[in-house]
């Protein structure tokens, strides 16, 4: 959203809260009914509620699969026209469920909610929210159920915000209405390591926006990185928890309100592919990168290394889902660039140790090296910044690596 975006604030109105429910929370009609009851119990505390929902379960992936029967490269505008039906169905069904339990509610698609976007289809950004309609409905004490992940651009085309887009919708609405944002998901908060991967990970009671952004950037899935950055920008208090509400989750706050963790945790990005392309001239480098990006391959990192006066090597990482496209691009590039050498590695994990304590890098760096070596773990490359130390390991060594680091750093 734009820096200039103005907030809505009316001191006479009751407290407002945005609640976001992800795909698994609305994965079945029974789950939708449970969520409806939960929303009503929040409403009954006197708060005004804006609900943001994703499409039911894996609807979005199912719809994408259908398009593959028609085209390998369907128009992004039409993909968005198709995908936006997913959230539209969930908002209608959730609204019906809330109404069935006797509360006043209304569904709004992205365009009805005034969510205006800019940028390409399938990867648009929220530019502004025309909040009049939501504001008016809240004043009528209605529970307002908004479709996440979607909006409308100035051509009147339906758009989507890319992966994690519903988080962004929720945080943007909370920013607009100067209110807190509760994100309900399938884990109970922010952990030192994704508990789906490492069940004995420790849960944070509170972390800072910066820590969350860093974790999200490096692969933590609990909150989208764009949503986390937006929350920081507009100072939106976030609370992340499981939708069943049995356990306290994690609060995300401004840095000055949080006792920072020296190490926040370990972020993982699994199922990676690394591609090393060598014997390339400087003129050819952009062609090589465009060759992948032009075919829609999402590149997680791009590094170039000067081999000698003339030749350059390019190191790319992407994810398993692009395997077949990557192979096609590699074949094309080999035909076009004589002398090109390609080496790919699949089943890699990117493992990042994240935290403000890494400003004192030398010591931690040494400790990590030593831990990996002592545990016979092979790492491929390693990078480091003020806030993270990142390396690649073979997938089969994930557990051993995490376990040794958890012991060493007391995570």
Nearer to a copy of itself, 84 or 388 (CB): 84
Closest CA to 398 of 268, 203, 246: 268
**Is the separation of the CB atoms in 257 and 210 below 8 Å?**
no
Nearer to a copy of itself, 29 or 257 (CB): 29
Is 101 one of the annotated binding-site residues? Answer: no
CB of 36 to a copy of itself, least distance (A): 9
Nearer to a copy of itself, 67 or 323 (CB): 67
**Which two three-digit tokens encode residue 347?**
């089943």
Closest CA to 13 of 132, 133, 139: 139
Is 20 one of the annotated binding-site residues? Answer: yes
Nearer to a copy of itself, 43 or 269 (CB): 43
Nearer to a copy of itself, 92 or 340 (CB): 92
List CB contacts of 406: < 8 A, sequence separation 6 or more. 192, 193, 198, 200, 201, 266
CB of 70 to a copy of itself, least distance (A): 5
CB of 18 to a copy of itself, least distance (A): 20
CB of 34 to a copy of itself, least distance (A): 12
**DSSP, res 8:** P
CB of 111 to a copy of itself, least distance (A): 8
Nearer to a copy of itself, 90 or 404 (CB): 90
Residues 387, 390, 395, 400, CA torsion sign: negative
3-state helix, strand, coil in the chain (%, to 5): 35, 30, 35
Which residues of this chain interact with a copy of itself, rule CB under 8 A? 29, 32-33, 63, 66-67, 69-71, 74-75, 77-79, 81-82, 84-85, 88-89, 91-93, 95-97, 99-100, 106-107, 109, 111-112, 133, 156-158
Is 399 one of the annotated binding-site residues? Answer: no
Say how far apart CA 131 and CA 176 lie, in whole Å.
8
Dump the DSSP string for 242-309: ETT--S--EEEE-GGGS---SS-EEEEEEEEEEEEEEEEEGGGHHHHHHHHHTTTPPPSEEEEEE-SS
Say how far apart CA 14 and CA 329 lie, in whole Å.
56
Is 291 one of the annotated binding-site residues? Answer: no
Nearer to a copy of itself, 162 or 237 (CB): 162
Pairing of the two strands 158-160 and 150-152: antiparallel
Is 47 one of the annotated binding-site residues? Answer: no
Is 317 one of the annotated binding-site residues? Answer: no
Say how far apart CA 235 and CA 265 lie, in whole Å.
23
Is 21 one of the annotated binding-site residues? Answer: yes
Nearer to a copy of itself, 23 or 355 (CB): 23
CB of 14 to a copy of itself, least distance (A): 24
Closest CA to 179 of 42, 35, 54: 42
Nearer to a copy of itself, 90 or 388 (CB): 90
Euclidean distance between the first and the last CA atom of the chain, given in angstroms as a whole number: 35
Residues 158, 85, 319, 224, CA torsion sign: positive
**Which two three-digit tokens encode residue 56?**
């039911």
Is 302 one of the annotated binding-site residues? Answer: no
**Which two three-digit tokens encode residue 89?**
């169905």
3 state SS of 292: helix
Pairing of the two strands 265-281 and 311-319: antiparallel
Is 387 one of the annotated binding-site residues? Answer: no
Say how far apart CA 92 and CA 152 lie, in whole Å.
19
Pairing of the two strands 265-281 and 238-242: unpaired
CB of 93 to a copy of itself, least distance (A): 6
List CB contacts of 84: < 8 A, sequence separation 6 or more. 109, 110, 147, 149, 150, 158, 160
Residue pointed to by tokens 């490359």: 381
Binding-site members are 20-23, 60, 87, 185-186, 191, 221-222
Binding-site members for substrate are 60, 87
């Amino acid at each position: 959203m734009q820096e200039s975006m103005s907030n809505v604030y009316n001191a006479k109105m009751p407290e407002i809260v945005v609640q976001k429910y992800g795909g698994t929370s609305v994965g079945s009609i029974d789950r939708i009914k449970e969520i409806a009851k939960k929303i009503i119990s929040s409403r009954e505390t006197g708060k005004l509620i804006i609900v943001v929902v994703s499409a039911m379960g894996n609807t979005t992936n199912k719809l994408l699969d259908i398009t593959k029967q028609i085209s390998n490269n369907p128009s992004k505008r039409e993909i968005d026209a198709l995908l936006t039906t997913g959230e539209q169905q969930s908002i209608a069904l959730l609204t019906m469920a809330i109404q069935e339990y006797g509360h006043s509610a209304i569904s709004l698609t992205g365009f009805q909610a005034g969510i205006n976007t800019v940028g390409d289809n399938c990867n648009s950004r929220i530019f502004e929210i025309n909040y009049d309609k939501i504001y008016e409905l809240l004043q009528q004490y209605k529970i307002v159920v908004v479709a996440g992940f979607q909006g409308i651009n100035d051509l009147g085309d339906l758009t989507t915000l890319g992966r994690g887009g519903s988080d962004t919708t929720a945080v943007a609405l909370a920013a607009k209405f100067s209110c807190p944002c509760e994100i309900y998901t399938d884990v109970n908060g922010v952990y030192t390591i994704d508990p789906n991967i490492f069940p004995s990970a420790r849960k944070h009671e509170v972390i800072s926006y910066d820590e969350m952004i860093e974790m999200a950037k490096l692969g933590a899935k609990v909150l989208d990185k764009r949503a986390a950055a937006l929350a920081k920008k507009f100072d939106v208090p976030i609370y992340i928890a499981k939708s069943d509400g049995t356990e306290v989750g994690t609060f995300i706050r401004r840095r000055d309100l949080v006792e920072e963790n020296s190490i926040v945790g370990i972020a993982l990005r699994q199922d990676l592919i690394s591609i090393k392309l060598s014997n390339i001239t400087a003129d050819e480098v952009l062609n090589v990168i465009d060759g992948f990006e032009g075919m829609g391959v999402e590149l997680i990192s791009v590094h170039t290394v000067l081999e000698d006066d003339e030749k350059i090597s390019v190191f790319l990482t992407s994810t398993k889902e692009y395997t077949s496209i990557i192979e096609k691009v590699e074949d094309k590039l080999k035909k076009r660039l004589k002398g090109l050498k390609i080496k790919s590695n699949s089943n890699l994990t990117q493992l990042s140790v994240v935290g403000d304590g890494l400003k004192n890098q030398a010591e931690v760096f040494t400790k990590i090296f030593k831990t990996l070596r002592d545990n016979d773990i092979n790492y491929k490359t390693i990078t480091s910044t003020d806030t993270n130390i990142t390396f690649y390991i073979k997938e089969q060594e994930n557990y051993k690596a995490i376990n040794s680091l958890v012991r060493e750093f007391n995570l």
